[in-house]
Amino acid sequence: MDDFSSNEDMEIPEVLPMMAVRDVVVFNYMIIPLFVGRPGSVEAVNEALNSNKLLMLVTQKDATKDDPKEDDLYDVGMVCMVMRTLKMPDGRLKVLVQAMSKARIKEYTRTDPSYEVAVEVIEDVEAEEISVEVEAMMRTVREQTEKIMSLRGILSADLMMIINNIEDPGRLADLVGSNLRLKIVESQAILEEVDPVKRLKLVNQLLSKELEVSTVQAKIQNDAKEEMSKSQREYFLREQLHALQKELGDTDERAQEIEELEEKLKKTKMPKDVKKEAQKQLSRMEMMHPDSSEATIIRTYIDWILDIPWHKSTTDRLDLVEAKLVLDEDHYGLEKVKERILEYLAVRKLNESTKGPILCFVGPPGVGKTSLGQSIARAMGRKFHRISLGGMRDEAEIRGHRRTYIGAMPGRIVQGLKTVASNNPIFMMDEIDKIGSDYRGDPSSALLEVLDPEQNSEFSDHYLNLPLDLSKVMFITTANMSDTIPGPLLDRMEVIRLSGYTLEEKTVIARKYLLPRQLKENGLKPSHMRMTDETLQQVITHYTYEAGLRNLEREIGKVCRKVARKVAEGGRGPYTVSKNNIDKYLGPPKTIPESEIERLEQPGLVTGLAWTEVGGEILQIEVNLMPGKGKLTLTGQLGDVMKESAQAALTYCRSRSEDLKVAEDYFDKIDLHVHVPAGAIPKDGPSAGITMATALYSAIVKEKVVGKLAMTGEVTLRGRVLPIGGLKEKALAALRAGIDKVIIPEQNKKDLADIPQDIRDKMDFFPVKDMDEVVKIAFGKTKAKAKAKAKAKTKATPSTKKASTGKK
């Protein structure tokens, strides 16, 4: 907007076309562009153009009305000259008008199609003299105008030069009023005031108020900008809102938040000490600024306290018959595990305050350890939560971070309780044998408190720093091997071993669980595909080599996918997958069963048994003699324990030179080479001592051992046979390899009770105390075979149940 003064004296007629304007009050000397769109306003502009170009402009009292009546318009307005018009593409007119004189409407001479009014010109009164008071007021107005425009960021040097050069108080009041973005009522009051000094006083009062508002607005914007990120416009707007509420004293939202938290705290059941701490933190939060970082931390802490199920429990299903049905429905076999769970339920039924057991399922991958935990939860009617401990190295994963750290959170235990919303769930902690430790702490040590029924009733998480009762939680851990579990941690758990499966067990599980599940997952119906038990056994023996069931299910899934494609292409089926056409679905056999491999029966070749984290394995030991100087060579990636076993075996053979019928200097003239095939696979463990000793003995005497014989046990320098572990897994490996005779240490005879009866019926076990007995049995020099077998069966506890079978 510009200041404009016309030197031309123009006679203003008594009757003029009138146009109403919104949101603006036109002052003297103003040149202003207007957009005209209403039909009556367009008609008034055209009428002015067709006569003397003069037009009466008055302001609407309510800018929202599209068709204002006489009462909706102010009486005092401005007579303007239409200087220029431009027709817009949308039909509107853009009009440039110049204010000529102030005028008052005396009467409306026409209202349709446009307004025509009789006007009375209001002459501007000039100030008689500029007193000191008026001069001071003019200076004040100039200074305040400059400050306001500076705060608003619209300060113009040209405009300020014009303002500073105006000496007439009325002209100064009009110019400042037209540039101040005042309310319509305030601007109209300035326009209607005829006396220039009074008009200036009114402008001065409005400037004082506007300066105060602009100062507060600038302060609000500065406060908000300090708290906001430049890239987050939404955050900036919220901060402005907060700052406005702060200036206005509007804290209702904050008070409502505090009130809601207090209400939740009253309704939530929790221990007295916990409630006291929560109330203390809530009081601290109430005293803090809502946007401070510490207030946010405390709010998060209170939310965690409220979300933890301090006294929320699920009701245990204590019907033992129903629980047994659920366990039998989900898993085949696993009698020992099922019996242990039913025992717990029985005790729980008689004593509700009993503490939760800490079970540890140890077994090869794929034998159903994790899914067994889910079945236990279903049988007991409890919530289930799984935590993977494999590779965990940070102690804070268990105990949580202290609240002093940025981004602190509770540990996985507390997070799990919040997730299940129950204080008596079943926690499945997988891969406890694969926990690591480094500079961040030792998670296995943190678990000592969690997995101790005598201590976990007051478990302390670093984040909460409050005692939390975990005694109602039933913890179940899983591991592939118990050897790598720290001793103190293993001591707190009840270990239940799950061994690998026999061919018959795998066939039953595949028929009952794996095949139906894969048919459903691949969108097939039982009528689309037929697969006999003979075919399943072919898949088990020729396409998988594992103790568990994972690869078996993958192979069954591969067959189902190929059948699904045929069905999707329009085939109806049923498609029969037989032993003869299985290669069309799975390709050539991936493995050759050990029982089908033709083994050489030569001196120096003996079969041993090993136990790994993936189940039992057979171990071939080869010994060869060459002329030399008594050197012993060991190959096949043997560990320190096996190397020491080989040395002990050699010492035993040297001490039996007379029985071997060799000269005293015989071992000084030969070199011995002990080799374990599959050299790329590291091997270690105290199970191959008697196997190496027998192989050395066989090579020296040049006699081969009896067929289909395997052995396991450690040997001492004097030939004593020491006990080993994993007898059941090793027996299963021998059975898979077609071996029916196994030599075991005498001290392992008690472990025969863990081997299913059907396996004991197919194999002969020979308990031995020393190497002399091993040699007699290995070379067929004893007639105690039948006696040993009978003895093994007699000592074993009769059982027709399978002890280690389950669904994956």
CA 671 – CA 557 distance, rounded (Å):
52
Beta strands in 318-409 (DSSP E): 358-362, 384-388
Q: Are 362 and 498 in contact (CB under 8 A)?
A: yes
Contacts of 733 (CB under 8 A, 6+ apart): 500, 609, 610, 615, 616, 617, 618
Complete edge-to-edge strand list for the sheet that includes strand 358-362: 384-388, 426-430, 474-479, 358-362, 494-497
**Residue 8 main-chain phi, psi, to 5 deg:** -80, 135
Marked catalytic residue, from 687, 741, 807, 808: 687
For residue 543, give both structure tokens: 């396409």
Q: Are 669 and 629 in contact (CB under 8 A)?
A: yes
Q: Are 690 and 652 in contact (CB under 8 A)?
A: no
CA-wise closest residue to 579 among 612, 630, 543 = 543
DSSP calls for 717-736: TT-BEEP-S-HHHHHHHHHH
Vertex 486: Cα angle to 481 and 488 (nearest 5):
125
Marked catalytic residue, from 201, 730, 749, 807: 730
Vertex 777: Cα angle to 768 and 687 (nearest 5):
50
Residue 687 annotated to the active site? yes
Residue 131 annotated to the active site? no
**Residue 738 identity:** G
Query: Rounded to the nearest 10 degrees, how much is the dihedral formed by the CA atoms of 364, 368, 374, 378?
Result: -140
Neighbours of 48 (CB within 10 A): 24
Distances (CA, A) of 36 to 40, 173, 179, 637: 9, 28, 22, 96
Say if residue 90 is exposed, middle or buried (CB neighbours under 10 Å; 0-12, 13-18, 19+). exposed
CA 662 – CA 655 distance, rounded (Å):
11
Q: Are 134 and 173 in contact (CB under 8 A)?
A: no
Q: What's the length of the chain?
A: 808
Q: Are 380 and 426 in contact (CB under 8 A)?
A: yes
> Hey, which residues are catalytic here?
687, 730
